[in-house]
């Protein structure tokens, strides 16, 4: 799978994904830091990448319907801090990578995964 990792996620996630055989790029790599959601979603979609983020605002299906993007994964990490967030994601990454993420909003919470 191809992923775009948002600026609010630890960059180590890119290395983790690459080790697992996935194509991963960061928002930093492409000079997209600080851009609006529509710009970020469009950039990911043009590259057919699934966007990984912590931004709750991007989960608005009325503004960002699933047919208009390649896929979005929203991590709802309860712990704060870079290390805690990375641990949260790493624990859930195997389950996440088993899912069909294309053109869906996937929300990864502490106790469940919701796909919309």
Per-residue pLDDT of 18-59, as tens digits, reads: 999 999 999 998 889 999 999 999 999 999 999 999 999 888
DSSP category for residue 59: G
DSSP category for residue 57: G
- What stretches of the chain show up as alpha helix (H) in DSSP? 12-19, 37-46, 82-97
Q: How far apart are CA 64 and CA 26, in angstroms?
A: 21
Question: Which of 11, 36, 35 has the alpha carbon at shortest distance from 25?
Answer: 11
Q: How far apart are CA 81 and CA 43, in angstroms?
A: 27
pTM of the model: 0.94
Domains of the chain, residue spans: 2-115
Per-residue pLDDT of 50-96, as tens digits, reads: 999 999 988 888 888 888 899 999 999 776 788 999 999 999 999 99
Question: What is the dihedral sign for C-alpha 7, 5, 33, 106?
Answer: negative
CATH number of 2-115: 3.40.50
């Amino acid at each position: 799978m191809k992923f775009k990792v948002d600026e609010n996620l630890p960059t180590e996630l890119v290395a983790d994904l690459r080790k697992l055989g996935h194509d991963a790029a960061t928002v930093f790599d492409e000079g997209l830091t600080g851009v609006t959601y529509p710009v970020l979603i469009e950039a990911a979609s043009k590259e057919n990448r699934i966007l990984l983020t912590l931004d709750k605002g991007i989960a608005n299906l009325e503004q960002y319907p699933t047919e208009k993007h390649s896929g979005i994964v929203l991590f709802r990490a309860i712990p704060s801090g870079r290390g805690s967030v990375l641990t949260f994601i790493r624990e859930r990454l195997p389950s996440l990578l088993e899912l069909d993420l294309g053109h869906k909003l996937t929300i990864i919470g502490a106790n469940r995964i919701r796909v919309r």
